Structure 1
Amino acid sequence: MSRLVDTVAPPRLGVPFRWLLASSWVSNVGDGIALAAGPLLVASLTSDARLVALGATLQWLPPLLFGLLAGALADRWDRRRIVLVVNVARAVVLATLAVAVAGGHATVGLVLGLLLLLGTAEVFADNAAQTFLPMLVARDDLAVANARLQTGFITLNQLAGPPVGAALFAAGAAWPAAGQALIVSAAAVLVARIVLPPHRPDPAVRQHLGRDIVEGVRWVRHHAAVRTLVLTIFTFNITFGAAWSVLVLYATQRLGLGAVGFGLLTTVSAVGGLAGTAAYGWITRRVSLGNLMRIGLVVETLTHLGLALTRQPAVALGIFFVFGAHAFVWGTTSVTVRQRAVPRALQGRVGAVNTVGVFGGLVLGSGLGGVLAEQHGVTAPFWFAFAGSALFVVLIWRQLRHVAHADEREAPLPEG
């Protein structure tokens, strides 16, 4: 058992990293359950594609509204305490949702409102939590540490969680929320074991919160590699959000899959992610970061085209496998690039700028996806995603060369 633990979390990464890894993996179980159960719950209450897409929008909107504030607070306050307090709040909201569903009082409006509260809480917890890793492990170990965290995300959030969430929903609509409430509570207990080094600024030199936020935005604007990554993820998440916001309808209406089959799509994507995990070291030794990003964007563009064309579940599952491998490689590379480049004092704010890019794209895309699906059918968002992605690949192709310089030493704080 000790040898297995040392393999998963090498001793050089330290005991605090092991607690972080455990809390991350536990949280990913709950998030994976919600990944399938959330859309199924909304779809069980309405067949309106716009409302189904709105469920995704309300989970993606809070990071856009509160992301920059969350980043500034993470650079000011005790980051561990933020995660603990917010996770307790999330557990209360989830328990409330479970009681409402079990008692037959869940309406579309209530469920959407609680999803909005959960999304808001997660903004502050996730932004603070993502700053832990650069404080706990050496810079040269960030890639391997991120790979371990991503492995948990793939196996538990995407591989194990969605089928469990779909199965729990099939057994009873209240079970997924109840289970997630317990899991979030367990993750909070694990976070409480982590000891972070001092990271709060000197109160004597603390500036206005607005200036803190501007400082983070300015840093991103002047750093070519991180700026390119933020722009790319924003644009591609518009197209991704349009398609994935109605994925539950695509799976049931276009592919003829049931609740468990819908969860299986994410599971197969996670298996592809594991393949990407296994090949990641080999790939990065042979392909430059700039070319790796270019290949990934082409893969994602063709993913949307393939899903728009097919009606066959087997073909769709194959596409999801390839997409899963791409998503792991892209995600691990981009987060490592950012963590290596950003000064510790700016990790929260720069991470927040990236988060705003991520969810800003998802919010815009999900709104478009719901309208397109309602007016032109469930494949329309996938055609839009293909066309938009293809156009952006052409426009951003040369700019991705900036990523090749992302391994430079930590950039300085901005002046002024």
Structure 2
Amino acid sequence: MTEAVRTELPAGFGRLWTAQTVSSLGDGVTHAALPLLALTLTRDPMALAVVTAAGTLPWLLFGVLGGALVDRWDRRRTMWVADAVRAALLAIPAAAAALDALSIPLLATVAFLLALGGLFFDTAATAYLPDLLGRDPVLLERANSRLRGAQTAASGFAGPPAGSALPALGRSVPLVADAVSFAVSALLVRTLPAVPRPVPQARESLLRQARAGASYVFRDRLLLGLALRPAVGNIAFVAVETVLALFAHERLGLGALGFGLLLTAEAAGGLLGAGFASLLGRRLGTGTALTCTAAVEGVAVLGLATATYPYTAGLSLAVCGAAMGATMVIAPSLRQAIVPAALMGRVASTSRMLAMCAAPFGALLGGWLATAHGVRTPLYAAAGLLLAMTALTATLTTDRRVEAALRAAAAAAAPAPESDRRRAGEATPEPAPTPEPAPAPAPAA
């Protein structure tokens, strides 16, 4: 019976999965539609870059503070309010598009506010899931695998083509579609089961709480390794993405359709990797699995750098996507299992902020190396960076550290001994009085 409980996801998870899948589909639509809408207004590369950059600023400016707020607020309410506000927000550019009043500043503002809402929703969802699943590592890996797979399918496969096609029906249509997805998500999230609220920390300032969350990550070697992996990885992957279209055109001879197929191969690999992540963690051990996927990413990017044929490049990207997909299930699941509930929002947002801050360095690195040394050079540099990161984080995310952290988390979650509860002033029931034994019969005369 206990095993059945450990392997069955609660009914509320289905509603959370549906909400995030619908919302991811809308995100994919907007991700493709916003640049196309911007192109109808200007051909200035800097103006287009402003719209793109606006979507990354909230994580850079408010990442840790947002996590501290999520740790103060009710996570379920934070999620549905964030999506309801985003649904209402999209009505503004939709109306402007219908009235032919769109502008680059308006699109940049909308991109910024949508990303700010995403910051609160994603952080609250990351903190809510372990509470819903009782911090069970097995259930967390299974749940994150399903969430990651659905997100990849919705935002990577279905959303972008729809976002590219819907503007033909009217410039406001993709914005309305995304608004509907946010509204549906908000309604579903509002019906999720309640979980215990974080312990109030009203005596501490918000800034002090934010610093406490960040320092918790940097002082714990396992959490530091889990945070460095996406941060360093983002430098490498963004460097690759910066020159990938040019590489595909100049070195592989691919047009727009071929480049799209390369990206599809990477997304397909990510979907596959998310599916076998739990099996990989069980067979190899969580720490070993994380080291192996990091090494595979580096080798796959090295294969991409040496590729001279489109099929070889597509296979390399698919393998890299599979390793990334597995990592993005295993690492967050481990973090959710070992971080205390009161710190979950801040730890998650700190890790995400480090990754987001690293991305601009990757773009600059890729552009500079391609300009100075050729279009293949950023790919070789990215492979070297990923393999060096593998060697570094392998010492921080060992199986021994993982097992010790899981044991410590399980001990912290266990009920306190009766003596500790009495010292804390908790009422304990009085033991039942022991009945006195009946008198022995008198001996016979």
Q: Could you say which TM-score interval applies, normalised by the shorter chain? A: 0.7 to 0.9
Equivalent position amino acid for 2:182 in 1: V
The match for 1:127 is 123
Equivalent position amino acid for 1:24 in 2: Q
> 1:36-79 deviations in whole A, cap 9, x for unaligned?
44455556766666665555433223112111111111111122
Q: 1:213 to 1:318 in 2, by over 3 A?
A: same
The match for 1:343 is 340
Instruction: Using the TM superposition, give the Cα deviation of residue 187 of structure 1 relative to its aligned residue in structure 2, in angstroms.
Output: 0.8
The match for 2:159 is 161
Distance 1:239 1:251 in 2: 17
Distance 1:171 1:252 in 2: 31
Say if 1:166 and 1:263, in contact at 8 Å, map to a contact too.
no
Q: 1:184 to 1:250 in 2, by over 3 A?
A: farther
Distance 2:374 2:51 in 1: 18
**Seq. identity, %:** 34
> 1:284-332 deviations in whole A, cap 9, x for unaligned?
2332333322222233224444444547544443233212211211011
Distance 1:303 1:43 in 2: 34
The match for 1:3 is none
Q: 1:338 to 1:361 in 2, by over 3 A?
A: same
Distance 2:398 2:389 in 1: 15
The match for 1:58 is 54
Match of 1:86 among 82, 87, 106: 82
Match of 2:134 among 138, 162, 185: 138
Distance 1:198 1:291 in 2: 33
Distance 1:250 1:103 in 2: 40
Q: How does 1:207-222 map to 2 (within 5 A)?
A: 207-222=204-219
The match for 2:389 is 392
Say if 1:369 and 1:381, in contact at 8 Å, map to a contact too.
yes
Q: 1:195 to 1:290 in 2, by over 3 A?
A: closer
The match for 1:76 is 72
Say if 2:145 and 2:278, in contact at 8 Å, map to a contact too.
no
The match for 1:279 is 276
Equivalent position amino acid for 2:293 in 1: G
2:326 pairs with 1:332: no
Three-state SS of the structure 2 residue aligned to 1:410 is: helix
The match for 1:27 is 23
Distance 2:34 2:373 in 1: 24
Distance 2:247 2:114 in 1: 25
Equivalent position amino acid for 2:276 in 1: A
Q: 1:173 to 1:309 in 2, by over 3 A?
A: farther
Say if 1:308 and 1:382, in contact at 8 Å, map to a contact too.
yes
Say if 2:301 and 2:317, in contact at 8 Å, map to a contact too.
no
Equivalent position amino acid for 2:128 in 1: F
Instruction: Using the TM superposition, give the Cα deviation of residue 351 of structure 1 relative to its aligned residue in structure 2, in angstroms.
Output: 1.0
Three-state SS of the structure 1 residue aligned to 2:194 is: coil
TM-score (norm 2): 0.78
Q: 1:398 to 1:134 in 2, by over 3 A?
A: closer
Relative contact order: is structure 1 or structure 2 higher (C-alpha 8 Å, sep ≥ 6)?
1
TM-score (norm 1): 0.83
| Superposed CA RMSD | 3.4
Equivalent position amino acid for 1:344 in 2: A
Q: 1:218 to 1:186 in 2, by over 3 A?
A: same
Q: 1:394 to 1:55 in 2, by over 3 A?
A: farther
Say if 1:53 and 1:370, in contact at 8 Å, map to a contact too.
no
Say if 2:146 and 2:275, in contact at 8 Å, map to a contact too.
no
Q: 1:379 to 1:48 in 2, by over 3 A?
A: farther
2:104 pairs with 1:96: no
Q: 1:163 to 1:194 in 2, by over 3 A?
A: same
Q: How does 1:15-414 map to 2 (within 5 A)?
A: 15-41=11-37, 55-101=51-97, 104-140=100-136, 141-169=139-167, 174-202=172-200, 206-245=203-242, 256-258=254-256, 264-310=261-307, 312-369=309-366, 381-401=378-398, 404-405=402-403, 406-410=405-409
Three-state SS of the structure 2 residue aligned to 1:152 is: helix
Q: 1:145 to 1:95 in 2, by over 3 A?
A: same
Deviates more, 1:377-386 or 1:237-246: 377-386
Three-state SS of the structure 2 residue aligned to 1:131 is: helix
Distance 2:88 2:255 in 1: 33
Equivalent position amino acid for 1:408 in 2: R
The match for 1:4 is none
Deviates more, 1:44-53 or 1:89-98: 44-53
> 1:160-190 deviations in whole A, cap 9, x for unaligned?
2233333335665544333212111111111
Distance 2:381 2:109 in 1: 29
Say if 2:271 and 2:322, in contact at 8 Å, map to a contact too.
yes
Say if 1:62 and 1:119, in contact at 8 Å, map to a contact too.
yes
Deviates more, 1:326-335 or 1:364-373: 364-373
Distance 2:368 2:262 in 1: 23
